[in-house]
Structure 1
Amino acid sequence: MFTVTKDIMLPCTTTGSFPRPRWFDVSMWGRPLDTCMMDVRFREKFQDALAVVVSDQERAGLDIITHGDFHCDEDFAGRSWHHYPLQRWKGLEGDYLQSEETRSPWLRYPPGTLLHEIYTGWRWPIVVDKVEHRPLDYPKIWRITQAKTRKPVRFGTCCSQVMSLFLDIHTDKYKDKRELIWDLAVAMNKELRALRDAGCKCIQVEEPCFHFMANSLGKDHPDVRFMLEAYNREVEGLDDVEIWIHTCWGNPNMQRVMEDTSYAASLEMYLYEAKGDVWTVEMKDRNFKDIELFGSLSKGLPKKIAVGVVSHRTLQADRPEEVAAEIRRALKYIPPEKLVITSDCGFGRQGCNREIAFYKAAAIAQGTNIVRRELGLPTTYVPAADPALQIDIVPKKSATTS
């Protein structure tokens, strides 16, 4: 159900995570949000940081706002994106290096590389009992954020399928990984339903990972088909919410974890079988590889496609006209009523700095407005581009100035 993009042509946003202000130097480290909020310093910094990330996105001119993933701890290479739910659900405990026997072949890199340091530096809980839901406080985080803006706030979360890649089972409650993945999906579904019940109308489920698996194993592999089933279980009963399915090719500390990337094997699964309304695809950093596939679909496009037009991996702040060129590139294959404009992935969690992220976001909005004008569509006000609102304005010469 298109609850937030229904009446917006070429809606623009970013994927989700945003760099923290330097003064936002507190984390939850596994504690419940309510416990953290009793600390007056945390309470003030957390609420103020959410106000700042909302303000930055509104000033950049984005149509749909995110909470910046500011509930995630400021830890090494963005581990908390996966770790936040795992720290809180029943049946998981401790922090351990994943065993070599269970580590995915995608996550093996030679010594002397950043990805090797990341995947041997990250520590994970082990599964010691049946995994069951405990509250993640997503409804409260959404309410705090939504209270600071009249624009819709999309709430994003790491999905259970990708979290399962890092878990070792140390209990006889599970005979195989599939049973664990299913319980993780059920647990996340409970949280997403609570988020919906709180009033959130747009939920982003991030990285179901069957595009990774289909690219390596083939679209008909039993493990790929099971991951699709588990994802659909995770979003079950959310038909009255606009569901975004975010996919990219890795983002620990801005790193791509796979070089041979293609959506070709997973295209039909995401479009026709995965429950949801918007599919986000990484394009800018991949030079728009696979974009032509969207123009050759005999069944048409049942979902909107959110195309990444700026990369989270580069430090160059894109110019609006460059973004407009990438949007035109996407429009060759995706009709405007089906196109959403976004970033390839998130900017935060030990990613690019706040100023660069802001101007990339502002370029998304300005570039979208360029194309909207060309198509005769309404534009969105971008305060960051308003000449009267610049920090430093060169005064005009008066008539009496010599």
Structure 2
Amino acid sequence: MSDAVDVRERFRPTDHPHEHFLLTTVVGSYPKPTWLNRARDLHEADDESFDDDDWTEALDDACRIVTHEHERAGLDVVVDGEMRREEMVEFFARRIDGYEFNGPVKVWGHNYFDKPSVASPVAYDEPWLLDEYEFAAGVADRPVKVPITGPYTLASWSFNEVYDTDADLAYDLADLVNREVTKLVEAGARYIQIDEPALATTPDDHAIVGECLDRIVADLPDDVRVGLHVCYGDYSRIYPEINDYPIDEFDVELANGDYEQIDVFTEPDFEPDLALGVVDAHTADVESVEQIKRNIREGLKVVPPEKLTVSPDCGLKLLPREIASGKTENMVRAAREIEADLDSGEIDAAAISERARRE
């Protein structure tokens, strides 16, 4: 991709008060309003008093509410909270030709997953996210990021009944993701996040993910920021290989592991921007601003401030809404206070980085 700092600068607010700029965003999902779940029940029950138009209006309202909530919290880049999505694989599989569903499968305990099957070669028909992005961009005053489930995860978390290998399926899916991203970019999107949680469970396949990313970013304009989010796992098994990925930002989930793996990224030098999880998406405790500031300083061990993005560990959709809101607000406050401390000299980012490399 293009120079990461230059790509990042387009997201700096024009009235930003500090010399140092920590980009703040969220990973993607956010708790749905309770009334939206009730509206879904009515729609799925084919209640004559709640038709498709009513359902569309409910989704639009939810997206508008969450987008504005993110803006009020002060995020530099917002997401609509994925209000139109339920499950990260199923949503896309229902929009890709070649997939079909044959009922839920048991994954653990009493939990079931509507795991799709690839019954014929995958193909691209209509856009998957274009309407979603255009609506969010239309109601937002700040840049909108678009999270997309990556081809490796779409392949790994499906039944493959057609392709010789899951890698072959992933490569074809990557070509489809490229077509979707191209349409999003033509519509104005400049921040794309590829979600590959499956890589955390099968890190030896990092080369397959890299090939998929090469296909996804092919022919994209230089001003498009591409991030890769990988959920908690053994990052030492994919680092430093990720330095060769064609991405501007690598998003890691480290808060819920107390940053035990942060040193993985200190040697050799970390090449892309680091998007660091600084609040735990798996606990219902709202971290204090002071705690989050300590977490942000962990990221300064790896990259300078101009290459650090501050975000939650992962999507916040499983938390109570007031908890998700509190985490987001405190996260932004902590980032702004860290910026002020950097400008005043109270924090010496270079010294933090050097000390981490000596230890």
Q: Please give the range of the TM-score, normalised by the shorter of the 2 chains.
A: 0.7 to 0.9
Partner of 1:149: 140
Partner of 2:9: 6
Residue 306 (str. 1) matches residue 271 (str. 2): no
Partner of 1:176: 165
Partner of 1:373: 340
- 1:242 aligned residue (192, 208, 225): 225
Partner of 1:51: 64
**Offset, 1:125:** 2.4
**Is this contact kept in 2: 1:185–1:230, CA < 8 A?**
yes
**Offset, 1:186:** 1.4
1-structure distance, mates of 2:168, 2:304:
40
Name the aligned partner's letter for residue 284 of structure 2.
L
Partner of 2:356: none
**Offset, 1:211:** 4.2
Which has more radius of gyration? 1
1-structure distance, mates of 2:218, 2:171:
12
Superposition map of 1:3-402 within 5 A:
5-6=8-9, 8=12, 9-25=21-37, 26=39, 39-73=52-86, 80-97=87-104, 115-118=108-111, 121-171=112-162, 174-207=163-196, 209-214=198-203, 217=204, 223-240=205-222, 241-249=224-232, 261-271=233-243, 273-297=244-268, 300-348=269-317, 351-376=318-343
Deviations 1:106-164 (A, max 9, x none): x7xxxxxxx4433xx11222222111012243122111001112210001011111121
1-structure distance, mates of 2:157, 2:284:
30
**Offset, 1:15:** 0.9
**Offset, 1:332:** 2.8
Name the TM-score, length of structure 2 as normaliser: 0.83
**Is this contact kept in 1: 2:25–2:75, CA < 8 A?**
yes
Deviations 1:76-97 (A, max 9, x none): xxxx211111112111112345
Name the aligned partner's letter for residue 323 of structure 1.
I
**Offset, 1:10:** 0.7
Three-state SS of the structure 1 residue aligned to 2:35 is coil
Name the aligned partner's letter for residue 81 of structure 1.
M
2-structure distance, mates of 1:64, 1:141:
16
**Is this contact kept in 1: 2:197–2:231, CA < 8 A?**
no
Three-state SS of the structure 1 residue aligned to 2:237 is coil
CA RMSD of aligned residues (A): 2.4
CA spacing shift, 1:333–1:185, aligned 2, 3 Å: closer
1-structure distance, mates of 2:101, 2:326:
39
Three-state SS of the structure 2 residue aligned to 1:58 is helix
**Offset, 1:295:** 2.6
**Is this contact kept in 2: 1:27–1:71, CA < 8 A?**
no
**Is this contact kept in 2: 1:4–1:202, CA < 8 A?**
no
**Offset, 1:27:** 5.1
Name the TM-score, length of structure 1 as normaliser: 0.75
**Is this contact kept in 1: 2:153–2:199, CA < 8 A?**
no
Three-state SS of the structure 2 residue aligned to 1:244 is strand
Q: Which of 203-212 and 2-11 deviates more?
A: 2-11
Name the aligned partner's letter for residue 316 of structure 2.
F
**Is this contact kept in 2: 1:96–1:126, CA < 8 A?**
no
**Offset, 1:187:** 1.5
**Offset, 1:239:** 4.1
**Offset, 1:311:** 0.5
Deviations 1:362-397 (A, max 9, x none): 0100111111111128xxxxxxxxxxxxxxxxxxxx
Three-state SS of the structure 2 residue aligned to 1:126 is strand
2-structure distance, mates of 1:175, 1:309:
40
**Is this contact kept in 1: 2:146–2:191, CA < 8 A?**
yes
**Is this contact kept in 2: 1:208–1:231, CA < 8 A?**
no
2-structure distance, mates of 1:278, 1:95:
37
CA spacing shift, 1:224–1:131, aligned 2, 3 Å: same
Name the aligned partner's letter for residue 179 of structure 1.
D
Unpaired runs of at least 5, structure 1: 32-37, 74-79, 100-106, 108-114, 218-222, 250-260, 378-402
1-structure distance, mates of 2:140, 2:55:
21
CA spacing shift, 1:27–1:162, aligned 2, 3 Å: farther
CA spacing shift, 1:177–1:347, aligned 2, 3 Å: same
Unpaired runs of at least 5, structure 2: 13-20, 45-50, 345-359
Three-state SS of the structure 2 residue aligned to 1:205 is strand
**Is this contact kept in 2: 1:160–1:208, CA < 8 A?**
no
**Is this contact kept in 2: 1:98–1:168, CA < 8 A?**
no
1-structure distance, mates of 2:103, 2:210:
28
